[in-house]
Structure 1
Amino acid sequence: MSAHKPVLLNDSVFMESHLKKGSTNWNWIDPGRGALDSPANYYEASLNPWPALPTLENDLVCDVLVIGGGLLGSSTALHLSEAGIETVLVEKGSIGSAASGRNGGQLTPGLARWEAGDILEHFSPDEAKRLWRFCAHEAMDLVDEIAARYDVGLDRQYGHITAAIHPGHMASLIEGADARYHLGDNAVEVVGRHQVREHIASELYHGALIDRIGGQAHPLALVRTLAHGFLLNGGRIFEGTEIARIEQTPAGVVACTASGTITARKGVVLAVHDLTHMFDSQLLPKTIPFFTYVSVTKPIDGGTEQLLPTGMPVYDTQFQIDYYRPVRKDRILFGGQGTGTNWSAERINDYLLGRFRTVFPQYEGVALDYSWSGISDFTLNGATETRRIEGTAPVYMVHGWSGHGVAQTVRIGKAIADDLSGHSEDLEMLLAIQHKPIPLGRQLSPFAIPAAKAAFGVGTAINPGKLVSF
């Protein structure tokens, strides 16, 4: 067995992290579980160790260079290698150490915050059906196909719940189901406040939309599966290798690191979070970054089935959503909150425990074993932004997932690989989506997000039934 093939452990192990996660992210564990300087988060702690890969130490030439070892980069690299295209992937930290391996792991259809109704508003009926199929059924199926092809377990479970926190939100959920039916997708049903309790043992919700094609997966295992397949196909990965700049030359795109250059003859994929500004100062950012947080509880006495009888993951319809799902050994992963500045572990633990008790007040003994922070980003119109910059060799970028893109990111990676090999036009429909630039988007985050929350608070007081989720 390859040393880089991910294997899920029966339970998590409280240990030091071996991943280079960057200075902006933190991991926390219950101090009673051990005095660790840099603890691993739940995902790393529930997988076999990842042997470090080499750092680039010389000049290279390849067909395609992928910068970033998350879901987008690893998927693109895997599909390029399967097509026989010589590809090099570089990651400044460790594979999956950023947002792709630190998110909630919930699989939901759509294109970031664009759901079926949004897609119908922006595309013709035929185009909308094609895009919905791409970012819903095809995205979910691709995750399963890759896991099967490389014989890796992802803790994959099926079904997903969007729970209405206010009775007025039910109208929006019904509209969403209707839009999906119109697109030929019947894998969804709306249930009322009594039936939703068959899935969630909480008095908080007034009904829900049950999605049969969504679900959950272990996101770090998924990223590592993509990288594992890429390595099996002869791909080369360099960890601890940061790109300082890239430039177009007659020979292709040249990427410079501290210890060597990489010349990509056919293309470059910038699969990095909100770092477009580092590579081309003329490109205005079209996203605003934000911090998000995840926790995992101690084992639930009596089992998670008493709180989540069917085991489906849940999003709710608050502006600042709660999301949660069962994980191994009767723990519940519980995440939420989006902030413009990075909250401390103590503050976020208090927040998430408070939200857990609000949802499940009958369970009095909740406590956390793990929590951690991450970074995502969003666009103004809610959809993911995809760019292809032409030159001697094309440069691809994708941003703005709003924390809703685990499966879709994998599918877009395949679309980029297909575009480079000339076998598909899927990418063109993503490139057609228009986005407004956000000058100083990174600098605005600490102010824009609190301002948006305050404005929503006023709006909620006036119209509490209006559905706007973040």
Structure 2
Amino acid sequence: MPEIAHKGYAPTIWESLADAPHPSISFQSSFWHSVAPAGPVCTRLEGEARTETAIVGGGFLGLSTALHLAEAGHNVTLLEADEAGFGASGRNTGFVVPNLLTGLDPRYAKEKFGPEKGDLLVRMLGEGGDLVFDLIKRHEIDCWGKQTGWMQPIHTGKKTAWLEDRVKQWQDLGRPVKLLSRDEAVAETGSEAYHGAFLDPTGGHINPLAFVRGLAHAAVKAGVTLHIDSRANEIGKKGSEWHLKTDHGTLIADRVLLTTNSTGGGLAPKAEGTQFPITLFQVATQQLDPELRESVLPNDRCSADTRKDLIAYRWTNDNRIVTGGLLANPLGSLERGRTHHLGRLQELLPQLPKLEPEFAWQGRLAAARDYMPRLMRLGDGAFSAIACNGRGIAMTTALGRKLAYWLSGGANEDLPLPITAPDPVMFPKLAPLAFSVWLPLSRHQDAKDIRE
């Protein structure tokens, strides 16, 4: 049995920061929000309703699972506290990355989960980019989707052997990845700072909010009942049925899947406590001269390098550059979030003119201790899945399809993850502070690596 959460949700200071009423960082003021088509018209849950499968959380993972379940003929209801894509799914940089974080690779996944589960996981992830762009095509989602490739350039020559090994591991799985030489990496990124790069041509970039809204449209069309403004604030089991209570109604289900990451508001505290919430800042520049595309990302790929405090950037359709990342202390850092990451990009790409933060916003991702996805059992027929860890779009969309097959009656052996009990971190309330300690140390290490 899961713990029953408190009734009446109150956001923490970290969640309040993520949506503070500052015009440059609110959800509505993000660049993606300014250009994304509207989501489907939905209502909140009122009164009592019954469903076969209840999904909580209207991001990539929840909507992908719901869509694929409905397409398989199952009755699905999804509860979203705000609107589809309101959390990390609608606020990120829009990179479609069919890969794991720096330092993790297929070998690590197989050591972590065993050879069979590890192989299923990395193969699922490797196919994630193609799945995203296939969904975009199949459901005619207007989200500026560009399957032009994702690059991971190395910021120091010391990582050359690591890069060669990483490329080989993915090539051994049959993936069409490539190793770029130093000259090729410089030409592809526009920066003289790089010494080579990992290239996966099946990756790319999208407007993430438009994509998640497109998934919501497709899910509703397939038969999913989607309730917005319906935060689940209490969960419990009566007999063989699960009861999810909101402020205005109750949803009764045979089974439940939580996909809220760390933003469940205490609905399943132990599962939420397995993650570190991380505040990220995103910036979109003013529109730039299109001729700059000839020297900066000339093939319209997206790039995220191997620094611990990585530098990531991409073009938008209207000639802006989007970048972003961490700040050591998110408290009181709203204005710093507007300028810090542009300064880093300006140093990396000196050919750029003075960059202005025409749009700036922030959000929160969640990372497990090992930066790997998890599927946790909360009780008989209730589960919580986490998958983001900084590689959200491809990973969560692909895992959603796998979870849908499993919830439809597929064998546990086909799951790319073991089912585990929640294993919260020690002192979970202090978890948001962890990266304020980690980041300065990481920046020091990055600078040392580059000097050497």
TM range, smaller chain: 0.7 to 0.9
Letter in 1 for 2:287: P
Q: Which runs of 5+ in 2 are unaligned?
A: 1-14
Aligned pair partner of 2:280 in 281, 292, 298: 292
Partner in structure 1 of residue 436 of structure 2: 450
The residue that corresponds to 1:438 in the other structure is 425
Retained in 2: the 8 A contact 1:165–1:316?
yes
Matched, 1:133 2:123: yes
The one of 365, 379, 383 aligned to 2:372: 383
Residue aligned with 2:388, SS:
coil
Counterparts of 1:112-131 in structure 2, within 5 Å, are: 114-122=104-112, 127-131=117-121
Unaligned runs of 5+ in 1: 1-20, 31-35
SS at match of 2:252: strand
Q: Secondary structure at the match of 1:59?
A: strand
Partner of 1:402: 389
Matched-pair identity in %: 24
**Contact kept in structure 2, 1:27 and 1:38, CA below 8 Å:** no
| Distance in 2 of aligned mates of 1:218 and 1:126 | 34
Any idea what the Cα deviations from partners look like across 1:161-216, whole Å, max 9, x if unmatched? 1111111122221111121123232x122222222122122212122112212211
User: Which TM-score applies when normalising by structure 1?
Assistant: 0.85
Q: Distance in 1 between matches of 2:308 and 2:69?
A: 39
Q: Pick one of 83, 95, 104 that aligns with 1:106.
A: 95
Rounded to whole Å, the distance in 2 between the matches of 1:435 and 1:251 is 22
Q: Is 1:175 matched with 2:170?
A: no
Taking structure 1 as reference, are residues 249 and 108 closer, same or farther at Cα in structure 2, changes over 3 Å only? same
Which residue in 2 is equivalent to 1:353? 342
Compared CA separation, residues 293 and 281, structure 1 to 2 (3 A):
closer
Q: Where do residues 225-264 of structure 1 align in structure 2 (5 Å cutoff)?
A: 225-264=214-253
Distance of 2:336 and 2:447 partners within structure 1: 26
Cα 1:275/1:336, change in 2 over 3 Å: closer
Task: Please report how far the alpha carbon of residue 143 of structure 1 lies from its aligned counterpart in structure 2 after TM superposition.
Answer: 1.5
Give the 3-state SS of the residue equivalent to 2:219 in structure 1.
helix
Question: Which amino acid in structure 2 is aligned with residue 450 of structure 1?
Answer: S
Q: Equivalent residue for 2:186?
A: 197
Q: What is the match of residue 150 of structure 1?
A: 139
Change (3 A) 1:413 1:98: same
Q: Which amino acid aligns with 1:168?
A: K
Mark the CA change 1:191 to 1:144 in structure 2 (over 3 Å): closer, same or farther: closer
C-alpha deviation, 1:96, in angstroms: 0.7
CA contact (8 A) 1:277 1:283 kept: no
In angstroms, what is the RMSD of aligned CA positions?
Answer: 2.8
CA contact (8 A) 1:120 1:179 kept: no
Alignment match of 1:58 (pick from 23, 26, 47): 47
Q: Report the alpha carbon displacement of residue 116 of structure 1 after superposing the two structures with TM.
A: 2.4
User: Following TM superposition, by how much is the alpha carbon of 1:228 offset from its aligned partner in structure 2, in angstroms?
Assistant: 0.6
Distance 2:192 2:447 in 1: 22
Q: Corresponding residue for 2:12?
A: none
